[in-house]
Structure 1
Amino acid sequence: MKKILLLSVFMMAFSCGNKKEVTQMVEVSCGQCKFDLDSEDGCSLAVRIDNKAYFVDGFNIDDFGDAHDEHTGFCEVVRKGEITGKVVEGRFVASSLKLLDSE
């Protein structure tokens, strides 16, 4: 019984160290064109949180329309969004992304 209790406490302590997903308001755009990220070639979706930009895993830059559209494209404008996920190894791993501005 002591072993099970000790194992349970250890597992609980280990799992508390993992960052949980959070939902937050962010700026969404092209990492290269608008956020000056240069660790990838070509245009890629990115978010800016507290003045720090992260490439996004889980969504593609063209998932929300043409990235080069003059009025709504992520390579042309910075848009507002609500994103759920967490930062993992310097990238934002997203499970949901909703744009909040009108197109």
Structure 2
Amino acid sequence: MKNLIIVAVLFITNMLCAQKVTNKVVDVACGECKFGMKGDACDMAVKIDGKTYFVDGAKKMEAYVDPHAKNGFCNAVRQATVSGEIVGNRFKATSFELVAEKPKAKSK
């Protein structure tokens, strides 16, 4: 019973301390490949205010671009406009829009 109370208090404290993020442009990449995070496989992560978080609630990396392409999340840090909240060590996205890459200038 004591353990159940401790878990409930930690859960409630965690929920009350959730940090909301609204329409913020953040760095996004593979957490393991580009941000050095520990994980089981290549997974999308964001960097918010200098801290990295795995993302829940967004499409898989492959839905945006081949992760291993030159501009893919395993090889490049991109940017996205996101909304959601940080809960524990995860970012719970309610919106996630990849910022379009600027086209390269054509050489003459």
Same fold (TM over 0.5): yes
**Percent identity (aligned):** 40
Alpha-carbon distance between aligned partners in 2 of 1:17 and 1:53, rounded to the nearest angstrom: 17
SS of structure 1 residue aligned to 2:64? coil
Return the TM-score normalized by structure 1.
Answer: 0.74
Aligned-CA RMSD value: 1.9
Tell whether the 8 Å contact from 2:26 to 2:80 is kept in structure 1 after alignment. Answer: yes
Q: Which moved more, 1:61-70 or 1:72-81?
A: 61-70
Q: Which residue of 2 aligns with 1:86?
A: 85
Q: Which residue of 2 aligns with 1:3?
A: none
Unmatched segments (≥5 aa) in structure 1:
1-15
Unmatched segments (≥5 aa) in structure 2:
1-15, 103-108
Q: CA deviation at 1:22?
A: 2.1
Alpha-carbon distance between aligned partners in 2 of 1:92 and 1:20, rounded to the nearest angstrom: 10
Q: Which has the larger radius of gyration?
A: 1
| Residues 7-86 of structure 1 mapped to structure 2, 5 A cutoff | 19-38=19-38, 40-59=39-58, 60-70=60-70, 72-86=71-85
Q: CA deviation at 1:94?
A: 0.4
Return the TM-score normalized by structure 2.
Answer: 0.71
SS of structure 2 residue aligned to 1:26? strand
Report the number of matched residues.
86
Alpha-carbon distance between aligned partners in 1 of 2:20 and 2:52, rounded to the nearest angstrom: 19
Alpha-carbon distance between aligned partners in 1 of 2:45 and 2:37, rounded to the nearest angstrom: 9
